[in-house]
Amino acid sequence: MAATAERTGTPPTAEHISELDVAIEVGPNGPALGAILGAGLGVFYLGFLTTLTEMAVGVHDWLIFQDRVGPLSGKTTMTGVAWLVSWAVLHLAWRKREVPFLPVAALTVALMVAGNVLMLPPVFQRLAVD
Amino acid sequence: MELTNRETWTVFHGLVFGSVFLLAFAGGLAGLWSLRPELVTVAGVQERMRRLLAGVWAMAIIAWVTVVTGTYIVYPWYRAAPPEGTEDLSDYPRSLLLSDPNTDLWHKFGMEWKEHIAWAAPILATAVAFIVTWYGRRLAHDARLRYATIALFALAFAVAAIAGIFGAFITKSAPLQ
């Protein structure tokens, strides 16, 4: 039916949609929400480390993984590690589950907003110690 | 019309990789937006998935390449400290910008924001590429999931755009030579 419609150039019909409905089962949304929440955590980790680096000299110095790059080398490396670990945990926990969409989406938005705020120079510079 | 080594890397980081990123975003966004059963047939969805996968993975990969080259190749040149007593700061962009109150915000705000927010782009883009790969054509059947993916995709572009715009203005004010 779909092939016939494609050949004749006619717009999709109810048969196309029902054929798609029958042919495709979406499956649990856990893997997708794990990736989405993981990304939100990644953004938050980066913002958190950015501000923490300014507030704690010890953290600042510890995060200098490369002298030429400075603490940015440690901030980004640790963010990457924490993001991947978090995502892996979420994926393993949710990969076969149907997870409530709105609470996870709301939490992701909150984490991204917080992370981006903490990355704003007026914010972390105000909290910086001399 | 020769470019120095530093200028070449700056061009690749900002202009070349940025342009590829933009192209990949445009293609990926169009692919995601039109991935609906009412717009395409079953065969059409299967055909579009190949291009969509190429677009989202290209964007994720180029985003990683951009931030890594920026952070570990270009940024050290930008932030290098001049030897004591140096009067001509043109080879030390960070110090040059900070030496003048009319330009110091390009570093204190522009670069300080750009160097961090840019790293959100590959994280977000990779999540999108994973979702498209995992679900494939099933994304056409779940509008809420598809819109969430599109939102993540657009956010990846937005943060990259912020970093790119500030990068362009900073390079204009204090170019790497």
User: What is the mean pLDDT of the segment spanning B47-75?
Assistant: 93
Return the structure tokens found at A13: 């019909």
Residue among A72, A115, A116 whose CB faces B115 most closely: A72
Check B67 against A76: CB less than 8 A apart.
yes
Tell me, what's the pLDDT at A9?
A: 52
d(CA A73, CA B26): 31
Q: Looking at the domain assignment, is residue A21 inside a domain?
A: no
Tell me, what's the pLDDT at A11?
A: 53
Mind listing the pLDDT tens digit for each residue in A27-67?
A: 899 999 999 999 999 999 999 999 999 999 999 999 999 99
Tell me, what's the pLDDT at B79?
A: 95
The 3 state secondary structure assigned to chain B is CCCCHHHHHHHHHHHHHHHHHHHHHHHHHHHHHCCCCCCCCHHHHHHHHHHHHHHHHHHHHHHHHHHHHHHHHHHHHHHCCCCCCCCCCCCCHHHHHHCCCCCHHHHHHHHHHHHHHCCHHHHHHHHHHHHHHHHHHHHHHCHHHHHHHHHHHHHHHHHHHHHHHHHHHHHHHCCCC
Tell me, what's the pLDDT at A17?
A: 47
DSSP three-state, residue A56? coil
Tell me, what's the pLDDT at B66?
A: 96
Domain count, chain A: 1
Which residues are CB-contacts of A119 (< 8 A; sequence separation ≥ 6)? A46, A47, A50, A51, B113, B116, B117
d(CA A94, CA A98): 8
**B87 to B101, B103, B121, B177: CA distances (angstroms):** 17, 17, 37, 16
Residues of B with CB under 8 A from a CB of A: 37-45, 67, 71-72, 75-76, 79-80, 108-109, 112-113, 115-117, 119-120, 123-124, 126-127, 130-131, 134-135, 137-138, 140-142, 144-145, 148-149, 152, 155
Give the number of C-alpha atoms closer than 13 A to the C-alpha of residue A12, restricted to the C-beta side: 16
Domain boundaries in chain B? 5-80+98-173
Tell me, what's the pLDDT at A22?
A: 46
Structural domain that includes position A67: 28-126
Check B119 against A3: CB less than 8 A apart.
no
Query: In which band, very low, low, confident or very high, does the pLDDT at B36 lie, cut at 50, 70 and 90?
Result: confident
**B77 to A75, A99, B12, B110, B165: CA distances (angstroms):** 19, 46, 15, 17, 19
Return the structure tokens found at B37: 């059963």
Dihedral sign from CA coordinates of A48, A53, A57, A59: positive
Return the structure tokens found at A96: 């076969």
The answer, yes or no, to whether residue B127 has pLDDT greater than 50, is: yes
Return the structure tokens found at A52: 């923490």
Query: In which band, very low, low, confident or very high, does the pLDDT at B155 lie, cut at 50, 70 and 90?
Result: very high
**B101 to A126, B104, B108: CA distances (angstroms):** 19, 5, 11
Strand partners, A70: A66
Quote the DSSP letter at residue A95. Answer: T
Tell me, what's the pLDDT at A4?
A: 43
d(CA A110, CA A127): 21
Mind listing the pLDDT tens digit for each residue in A82-114?
A: 999 999 999 999 999 999 999 999 999 999 999
ipTM summary value:
0.92
Strand partners, B6: none
Tell me, what's the pLDDT at A98?
A: 95
Tell me, what's the pLDDT at B44?
A: 78
Return the structure tokens found at A63: 């995060």
Q: Which of A1, A18, A69 to mutate to test the interface with B (most CBs of B within 10 A)?
A: A69
Query: In which band, very low, low, confident or very high, does the pLDDT at B177 lie, cut at 50, 70 and 90?
Result: confident
User: What is the mean pLDDT of the segment spanning B27-37?
Assistant: 88
Nearest CA in chain B to A79: B119
Q: Which of B6, B32, B41 to mutate to test the interface with A (most CBs of A within 10 A)?
A: B41
Backbone conformation region of residue B136, classed left if phi is above 0, alpha if psi is from -120 to 50, else beta: left
Q: Which of A19, A65, A72 to mutate to test the interface with B (most CBs of B within 10 A)?
A: A72
Check A2 against B45: CB less than 8 A apart.
no
The answer, yes or no, to whether residue A8 has pLDDT greater than 90, is: no
Q: Looking at the domain assignment, is residue A16 inside a domain?
A: no
